[in-house]
Every structure is written in C-alpha cells, then in structure tokens.
Chains A and B, each alone.
Chain A
Amino acid sequence: MSRMGSGPVNKRSKFGRKERIFGYSVIIPYVAYTAIFWGYPFVWMLILAFTKWNFFSKPRFVWFDNFLKMFTDKVFLQIILNTLNFLAYLIPMILISSLLFALALKKVKFGRTFIMLSFLVANVSSGVAYSLLFSNLFAVNGPVNRVFDALFGVTIPWFSNPQLAIFSICLIITWKFIGYYGLILYAGIQQIPQSLYEAAELDGANKKVLFWKITLPLINPSLVTVTVLAIMLTFGIFTEPYLITGGGPMQRTTTFMIYMYDTAFKRIDPSYATTVAVVTALLSYGLVTLIRKTFEREVSFV
C-alpha cells in the first residue's frame, strides 16, 4: 500500500520546484522561438494549402483543389523533369570535384588553411553578383567564347541550348560548393586511421586499391552527407536560373523555387505556391530517404 501511495508522489517530485522552474526557463526561449518562427508558419502553410487566398481576402476552403491542380499542371511536371535533369549533372559533378579537392587538400603540405578559405570564398559570395559575372563570362561574345573561337573557331551556346544551360548552371553551383563539400569530405578522410593504410600497404596494396577499398568505403558517411546536402540544394536552386536564363530555354531551367516565387508574388496565388512547396518538400524528403536507405553504411574504426 505504502508503495502505491508513494509512487505518483515520487514521480512528481523527481525534480524540485526550483529545478523545474529553472528547467522551463531554459527551454522556454527555444520553445517560444520554435512556436513563432516554425509552428506558426507551419499551421499557416497547412491552411494555405487547403484554401484559396489572394493576400487580401479571407482564405476560402477548397479541400484538395490545389493538390489536384498539380496533376494537370504541365509546368509542374516539366519542373520535376528539370530537377531530375539537374540532379543527373549536379550530383556526379559535385561529388567528384569535391572529392578531388579533398584528396588534393590532403596532399598539400603548406598553406592548407589558406587554400580552404580561398575555396570557401565562393560559398559566401553573393548569388546575384556571381550570376551576373558568369552570365557575362559565358555570353556568346564573352571571354570564354572568345577563347574557344580563337582556338577552335567555334562558339558554345552556354545558356541557349537547354542541356548546356543546365550544365552551365550546375557548373556554377559546383564552383560555389566545391570548397564547402570538399571540406566535409576532407574531414571524413582525416578521420580514417593511418594504421589502416599502413597495414594494407604491408599486405601489398597499391594506391588504387587503397583508394577503392579503404578511403572510399570509409568516407561513406561524409559522401552520403554531401549527397543529401546536394539533393536539397538542387531542390532549392533559384538565383542562378532566375537571373541568367529566366527559367529558359523552353522552360528547361525553371525550378521549383522559381515557380513558387512567381506563383506567389507575380501570379498572386500564394495558396497554390504553398501547395507546390509542400509537395516539393515531400519529394525531396522521399529522395533523401531513398538515397540514405540505398547507400548509407555504418562505419566504425574499431
């Protein structure tokens, strides 16, 4: 009997009053922050996705109309294809180049921090500024094409051919993120114990084997991290196509973000824009989960 009586009391008084007040006061700023900047928009997002609103009138409830509209929306389907097209270029480009950067960084003896910082400058520079820079660099009569013309007598339509335009934009994004992602991979490589390489070398492994059998499998967590980050990045491409190609040619570089922005603020249809955002988020989440399920391996150095 006495145990039953003391049970709940014990549970309540696990922490003293003072401790509880302290505990709450520690979490309240975070909870309040989350409620205002995450919870409120989240609720508002749900409301918007199921209503019709024009910034001005009261939202009108429309059930699943916004979602159904998406199935007949040619542009939306085109954007899904565009995004896959972007992924097909960007993921290999970004993985290979940042891996090469990380491997090269490991070889460098002096000024490693300086090199790292130099590559990171691209990452923190303004999207608008470098978009303008690249669009001039790759213009039909720009410096890049002038070199091509002088050397081979041809000019390359960097932003006019649909596939080339996607490739060029991926090139810019790769340039921007090579330092950041390279650093993640470099950290992964640094974690691999030197003893593993030494043991393998004793067993007669050459450089190729060392890379394919030790380095690559053991940086799996970093590689998956970079892949996941790059996928999320692809779903969020905005500035480069918005400024350079305007979503063209043939709407082939129109991205989810461009579509959302234009739909909300230029077509004055924030409800549909929100619905597109919700579905985009689900799509990217699905893809990320798929990648993790397929490629992620547990790695331990014991």
Chain B
Amino acid sequence: MKKFVSVTLLLVLMITAFSVKLTFWTAPNPYQEEFWKIMVTQWNKQRPDIQIEVQTIPAAGSSEEAILTALAAGNAPDFCENIFSGFGAQLADIGALYAFDNFGADFTKLVQTRKMTSIIDKWAINGKHYVFPIYSNPMLFWWRGDILKQLGYSNPPRTYSEIYDISKKFADGKKKFTMQVISGRNWWDRWYDFITYYYAATSGKSYIDTVKRKVNFGDATGKKISEFIYTMFQNKYTAVELGTNPFYDGTILGKITGPWEVNWAKETFPKVIPNIWISTPPVPDDYPKDKPVYTFADSKGLVIFSTCKDKKAAFEFISWVFSNAQNDALWIEKTQMPPAREDLTTNPVFAKYMEDKFFKAYSSNVAYAVPPALIDKTIDIQQAMTTYLVEPLMYLKGKPDDILNNAVKEINKILF
C-alpha cells in the first residue's frame, strides 16, 4: 500500500513537472469569462499533462493595446480568444500568429465537426487561417413594430423606397426620425452602415478587392447606397446625433444592432422588447425578393500566438472545446451570441434556443453574415470612407455620384 502511494505520488509529481502550462486570455466580459472558466476547469481535471490558466485580457485602452504591449514586452499569452478578424489579419501580418493550417488534417476535421466549412472560407488571411471563428454576430435591424403598426404597416420595411414611404408619414426632422442611417463618425462605424448596406445590396460581395487592391463599391450598387444615405439626410429622415437610446424612446423607428444588445434591452426596456420587429438591412428597390439578404458579421475568434510554448497542446484544447456541440449550447446560454456554425437552425441541440425570437433571427442569419475585408490598411480606408464618403453625404456636400467617385479615387490612392 505504501509503495502504491509513493509510486502514485511520484507519478503525479512527474506529470506536474513535465506538464505544459499554457496561458489563455479571454475577453473582459463576464459572460464569456464564465463560459471559458467552466471549459478550462473541466479540461484541467481531465488533462493533468496540459494545464491551462485563464486570464482576462488586462484592462487597457483597448484589447488591441493590451495584446500589442504584451507582445512587445514578451509576456503575451499562448493563445487568446475574442480576436476580431481584422485585428487577426494585422497580427498575422506582423508574424505574431501561428496558422491553424499547420495542424493539417486535424484542423480540417475540426472544421467539419463544427459545421463551419463554408464559414471558414471568409476568414482566410492571405490563403491561410490564423483565426478560429468562435462567434459570428450578423448585424440586423430592429424596428419599432408598435409604431409601425399605428402607421399602418404589418412588416418592417425591406427596400429604400419603403423606408422613404414610412419617413413621409413619420419623420418631422426635429423630434422624429425614421431610422439611424449612419452609425457614427469613428472609422469602425463604417462596418455598421455603408459596408453593411453594400453587403446587403450585393449578396455579400467584398467592398474591397484585397488581391488587386482596388475599391469595389464604386459600382452601380455603391451609387444606389450613396443616393439612399443622401436622400435620408436631405429630407431630414435621419440625423447625425440622435441622443441617448433614441430607439427606445420612439425618436427613431429603426436601427442596426447586434445580439449583444438583447440582454441589456430586456432588462432596461422590457416594455419595448415585445414590440420589436427584426429585419435584414434595407436593400435597393430592384433587389430580388426571393434572394437572401446578406449582412455584416461582427465576428471574433481564437488565435494561437507564434510564441506559444506548445502549439499542439493549445490546439488539442481548442479541438476538445469545439468538437462538442453541447459546448456551443453552453456558449449560447452564457453569452446569447450565435456560435459560428452553419447548423444552428437544424441541429436539435440548439432547438430550445430558437424559441427566443432574437436568438432565432440572429442565428438564422449567421450563414449570410460576411466578416470585413481582411486588409492591412483597414483604419485608413475606413477613415477615408468617413471623410470622403459618409460625411459629405451627411452634410450634403455635392451630388451623391460625385462624392462617391471622389471617395473611390481617394481610397484607391491609399490602397495603391
């Protein structure tokens, strides 16, 4: 007996001495943190040879700042979640990431098991996969069904003309505006307005040709969108600043948002929630009725840093988490965000979540949600989109066509 105890002790000691210890950073978001803590506790019990320590991304101005400074200081984690695909592209560009393709067949198998074969295509950076998609938040429009009903509508508007039609009945240019057309003036806001409209109107065509390094939105569709934004501002159907929670106090009828707002809205504005209608982004009048409408995906994933002590061990953990659909169900329960998988509406594991109208709407659009163009100059491009395209349209500085052409010219200069 004594011998047995000492041998076991020795074994345990050896395992702990030779075991890998990996640091894993998670988003500083209590819901996601909870999910990962559960996962890691289970894993650490099963695998004494690969021990994982969860830490939240340290508080800083932004998570980008925290990760970059950690990289510079040489104390980056081994792997990290909640990485925005655009930031992933930047990290890959400086050589800080390890490509998942290096795991070969194991990676392909994981992609198949998690039902994300077509999703993963849109996540490729220069032909390789550096970011493993965790969740994909399709951006959808919320409409005030109660007010629209009073105005005589039974469905949310689908096309630009339908929005003009509602505007004529509702907007007064001072206290009432139809919808939020422009999301803000920061460069990232372009994802939630112009780029979303472009994806919607083109069935998900990229707004930038990342290979030829040219702007795609200088086409007929881009013109229609510019015209739409211009018309909305010209007629005062929308405004730049709309104050706090304009949607909930009835100042506007519609706005774009992601699933992260659901829980907050349920708690803060429980009376508005039952009256909300959800729709895909508006499209030009000639967009085919039977075709699905695409939208922008605010999507985040997981990366393994090239400085990781044991990449294979990290991948083993990642495969273990994402091979089991139950874990994705737990993710939904904790975060309300749709996992990046194609079988959300068909897999019985997720059936009970489909009863929630918000979750159902968001998850059924995951397949039509496109991440941003993965290019190194994202900020400068979108800053230029703000300065040369969206702002002139908002302030009615010139004809929409001329504004668009000029913007395309300026952005092509940046890309060149």
List the interface of chain A (C-beta within 8 A of B). Answer: 54-57, 135-136, 138-142, 149, 155, 157-160, 245-251, 261-262, 264-268, 270
Known pairs A56-B71, A160-B240, A248-B391; list 11 more (Cβ under 8 Å).
A55-B68, A139-B244, A141-B175, A159-B240, A245-B185, A246-B185, A248-B185, A249-B185, A264-B68, A265-B64, A265-B68
A56 touches B61 (CB 8 A): no
User: If the complex has contacts A149-B174, A160-B241, A268-B90, are A251 and B387 also in contact, measured as CB distance less than 8 A?
Assistant: yes
B387 touches A138 (CB 8 A): no
Mask for B375-390, Cβ within 8 A of A = 1, else 0? 0000110010011000
CA distance A262 to B386 in the complex (A): 15
CA distance A208 to B276 in the complex (A): 64
Q: A261: nearest residue on chain B (CB-CB)?
A: B61
Instruction: Determine which of A141, A155, A249, A270 lies in contact with B246 in the assembled complex, contact meaning CB atoms within 8 Å.
Output: A141
Q: B236: nearest residue on chain A (CB-CB)?
A: A140
Q: A137: nearest residue on chain B (CB-CB)?
A: B243
> A268 contacts which chain B residues (CB < 8 A)?
68, 90, 93-94
CA distance A114 to B2 in the complex (A): 76
How many of B's residues come within 8 Å of A, CB to CB? Answer: 36
Mask for B132-159, Cβ within 8 A of A = 1, else 0? 0000000000000000000000000000
CA distance A160 to B243 in the complex (A): 13
B383 touches A135 (CB 8 A): no
A251 touches B383 (CB 8 A): yes
> B394 contacts which chain A residues (CB < 8 A)?
160, 249
Q: B388: nearest residue on chain A (CB-CB)?
A: A250
Instruction: Determine which of B95, B242, B391 lies in contact with A56 in the assembled complex, contact meaning CB atoms within 8 Å.
Output: B95
> B94 contacts which chain A residues (CB < 8 A)?
54-57, 268
Answer yes or no: B219 CB below 8 A from chain A CBs.
no
Nearest CB of chain B from residue A108's CB, rounded to whole Å: 36
Answer yes or no: B395 CB below 8 A from chain A CBs.
yes
- 16 contacts across the A-B interface (CB closer than 8 A): A57-B94, A139-B243, A141-B175, A141-B243, A155-B174, A157-B240, A159-B241, A246-B187, A247-B185, A249-B394, A249-B395, A250-B391, A261-B61, A262-B379, A265-B65, A266-B379
A140 touches B239 (CB 8 A): yes
Nearest CB of chain A from residue B151's CB, rounded to whole Å: 20
Nearest CB of chain B from residue A47's CB, rounded to whole Å: 12
B96 touches A56 (CB 8 A): yes
CA distance A141 to B69 in the complex (A): 41
User: If the complex has contacts A56-B96, A248-B185, A251-B383, are A266 and B64 also in contact, measured as CB distance less than 8 A?
Assistant: yes
A141 touches B239 (CB 8 A): yes
> A155 contacts which chain B residues (CB < 8 A)?
174
CA distance A157 to B246 in the complex (A): 17
CA distance A82 to B395 in the complex (A): 20
> B61 contacts which chain A residues (CB < 8 A)?
261, 265
